[in-house]
């Protein structure tokens, strides 16, 4: 089954001289339950693409289908989003942050609580519900963000460099944690990162984008067995996959493979 289908999507940001072309002719299909990672040079339009997948911004042309229906506006029951950092509301506790999407929909209080607590348990934060964001570590904050993204049980989870602000050790742990959560929930995940190691470690498939205007220049299937282990990072296969992605990214602008 197809979870996400992007068809000939292009985007031009309004601006001087006809605007800034940010995305060009993006087509991609993500099968349900897959973990897809998008990498590409800074400014190539990864965040823009994710915003469009989330219905937070409208593309200039092209269509996005999620669960067979077009995405035009944010729909948290189909797509959950986790942003880079500091996206928790500092005036709400971890539990209230997690509940937020449900509160917007007017879900009864008891059910809201129950589901938010389940989510906090899932991300390994049982007992931390009453803490405010400033009382949590960076990794814990991102766990809450993930809980919030999952609380409506959407089939798709979009993540824009969710661990970029974390230190390397926490980042590795969080990647591992994310895989655990993913294997439990079987969501379709689209994950953006600058870390090639993270990309190979997490992904079923890595999409490589070119520099501006962003296009998809390569799709690399990561056929490492699951569950992934830290030891795999030291293997030849891992290194080769990483190398291949790197070769694609460092290609000068405009050359297509």
Partner 1 sequence: MTQTQIIAARLALLAAILAAWALLPKYGVLDPRLLPPLGDVLAMLGKQLARSQVQEAIGVTALEVVVAFVIAVPIGAAIGVAAAEFEYFGQIFKPMLFYVFSVPKSIFLPMFILIFGIGFPQKVAYAAFSTVFIVIMSATAAVESVKADHVLVARSCGATKAQILWRIYVPSMMPVLLETLRISMIFNFTGVMIAEMYASRTGIGHLIANWGENFQMPELFAGVIMLSVVAICFNEAVRLLEVRVSKWRT
Ligand X SMILES: Nc1ncnc2c1ncn2[C@@H]1O[C@H](COP(=O)(O)OP(=O)(O)OP(=O)(O)O)[C@@H](O)[C@H]1O
Q: Is 161:85 a contact under the CB 8 Å cutoff?
A: no
Q: Rule CB under 8 A: choose which of 68, 90, 227, 254 binds partner 1.
A: 90
Residue 104 binds partner 1, judged by CB under 8 A: yes
Of 34, 37, 46, 163, the one binding ligand X by CB under 6 A: 46
Shortest Cβ 183–ligand X spacing (Å): 27
- Going residue by residue from 23 to 42, which x/- string records binding to ligand X, judged by CB under 6 A? -----------------x-x
Are 169 and 14 a contacting pair, CB within 8 Å? no
Long-range pairs for 167-174 at CB < 8 Å and ≥24 separation?
167/138, 170/137, 170/138, 170/139, 171/195, 171/198, 172/230, 173/139, 174/139, 174/142, 174/143
Q: Is 57 helix (H, G, I), strand (E, B) or coil?
A: coil
| Structure tokens, 191 | 């994950």
Selection from 138, 140, 139, 112 nearest residue 128 by Cα? 140
Please choose which of Mg ion, partner 1, ligand X, none residue 164 contacts, taking the beta carbon within 5 to 8 angstroms, the exact cut-off set by kind: none
CB of 69 to Mg ion, least distance (A): 26
Q: Is 95 in a helix, a strand, or coil? A: helix
User: Closer to partner 1 at the Cβ: 128 or 132?
Assistant: 132
Q: Which of residues 225-254 bind ligand X (CB under 6 A)?
A: none
Is the distance from CB of 130 to CB of 140 less than 8 angstroms?
no
Per-residue string for binding with partner 1, 117-136, x by CB under 8 A? ---------------xxx--
For partner 1, the binding residue among 13, 86, 137, 247 (CB under 8 A) is 86
Sole binder of ligand X in the list 2, 10, 29, 47 (CB under 6 A): 47
């Amino acid at each position: 089954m197809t979870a996400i289908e992007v068809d000939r999507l292009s985007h031009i940001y309004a601006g001087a001289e006809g605007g800034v072309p940010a995305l060009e002719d993006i087509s991609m299909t993500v099968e349900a339950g897959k973990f897809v990672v998008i990498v590409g040079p800074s400014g190539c339009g990864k965040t823009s693409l994710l915003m469009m997948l989330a219905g937070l911004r409208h593309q200039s042309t092209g269509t996005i289908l999620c669960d067979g229906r077009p995405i035009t506006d944010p729909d948290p029951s189909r797509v959950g989003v986790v942003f880079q950092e500091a996206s928790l509301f500092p005036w709400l506790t971890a539990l209230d942050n997690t509940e937020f999407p449900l509160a917007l929909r007017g879900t009864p209080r008891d059910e809201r609580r129950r589901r938010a607590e389940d989510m906090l348990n899932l991300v390994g934060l049982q007992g931390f519900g009453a803490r405010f964001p400033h009382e949590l570590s960076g990794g814990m904050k991102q766990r809450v963000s993930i809980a919030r993204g999952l609380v409506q049980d959407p089939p798709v989870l979009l993540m824009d460099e969710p661990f970029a602000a974390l230190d390397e050790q926490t980042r590795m742990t969080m990647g591992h944690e994310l895989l655990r959560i993913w294997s439990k929930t079987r969501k379709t995940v689209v994950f953006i990162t600058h870390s090639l190691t993270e990309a190979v470690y997490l992904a079923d498939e890595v999409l490589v984008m070119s520099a501006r205007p962003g296009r998809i220049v390569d799709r690399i299937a990561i056929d490492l067995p699951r569950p992934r282990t830290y030891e795999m990072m030291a293997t030849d296969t891992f290194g080769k996959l990483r190398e291949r992605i790197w070769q694609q990214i460092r290609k000068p602008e405009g050359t297509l493979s």
